[in-house]
Amino acid sequence: MAMAARSAGAAARPTLPVMRTVADLRRAVAAWRAAGQTVGLVPTMGALHAGHLALVRRAQADCDRTIVTLFVNPTQFGAGEDFAAYPRDEAEDGTKLAAVGADLLFAPEVAEMYPDGFATTVTVAGLTDGLCGPARPGHFAGVATVVTKLLLQSLPDAAYFGEKDYQQLLVIRRLARDLDIPVRIEGVPTVRDADGLALSSRNRYLSAGERAAAVALPMILRHVAERLADPTRVVADETARARDALLQAGFTRIDYVEVCDAETLEPLAHVTRPARVLAAAWLGSTRLIDNMPVSSA
């Protein structure tokens, strides 16, 4: 079914097929494969912004066909998190995807993804022990399970994920390798607003005052990343100062500010190899995350 209807006399608008079942998705992919075409997959929870569209464009640059998935995955939200409130606007998302020329939107119902009797969970050890893992119990198991399903349902050549969710990107790389899923996992740099705040579907929860304060997060992380390019500097000193600066700027709670190995996420005391500074902090009831590379000298 095409989402963008044509009205009489109006110029033809781009159309975007929307599929709800795994069977339909597999039929579409099989037809592309039979024609010798490559396929890219962009998993999302919708409420699409320019960050998501950067993933779509990257997939389009690499692959003949691009599938975008829209599924607000209940199993990756904890009790008391924002599953019910999470912004949902499939019509608006469809319009944006049609405009950029995505080939297919896969938007299954919860019952299609988790039918009665569903009993399997994918967990990735180690990488999920720190950072957002302890703060969001069960989150990465929910993400790993749904992404594994999406990869196996569509069997793309490549799947695209944002560096904005850096720990998630590494978790997904790990599970694809460990489970021998034949797909390239590609990371795409974070898309930011003009003032530096990383685009996020959750930014719309921020009041005007909170939005103004939010810019401190990327500014402070950038400062830490720049200072730690000097390997003699002590990570714990820089992260302690960053925590103070975030609270000073109006953040109400800090889950973590850490500097970790860019591949293993092992916490570092000094930056002597490729590293990432990562943070999660709250403005009122909104939790923001961000991260930046630290290039060791």
In the complex, the residues that contact ligand AMP under the rule CB under 6 A are 44-45, 51-52, 54-55, 161-162, 164-165, 188, 190-191, 198-201
Which secondary structure element, helix H or strand E, spans residue 74, and what is its range?
none
Q: Give min distance, CB of 202 to ligand AMP, in A.
A: 8
Q: Give min distance, CB of 265 to ligand AMP, in A.
A: 16
> How far from 244 is each of 139, 216, 238, 239, 256, CA to CA, in Å?
27, 12, 10, 9, 12
Q: Give min distance, CB of 40 to ligand AMP, in A.
A: 13
User: Nearer to ligand AMP by C-beta: 200 or 239?
Assistant: 200
User: Nearer to ligand AMP by C-beta: 89 or 237?
Assistant: 89
The catalytic residue among 52, 139, 223, 270 is: 52
In angstroms and rounded to an integer, the radius of gyration of the C-alpha atoms of the chain is 20
Q: Give min distance, CB of 283 to ligand AMP, in A.
A: 17
User: Nearer to ligand AMP by C-beta: 161 or 235?
Assistant: 161
Q: Determine the Cα–Cα distance for residues 224 and 284; give it in Å rounded to an integer.
A: 24
Q: H/E/C letters for each residue in 167-198?
A: HHHHHHHHHHHHCCCCCEEEEECCCECCCCCE
- Which tokens go with 244? 């103070």
Asked if residues 93 and 48 have their Cβ atoms less than 8 Å apart, the reply is yes
User: Nearer to ligand AMP by C-beta: 140 or 161?
Assistant: 161
> Interior CA angle at 6 toward 3 and 8, to 5°?
160
139 is catalytic: no
Q: Determine the Cα–Cα distance for residues 148 and 40; give it in Å rounded to an integer.
A: 15
Active site residues: 52
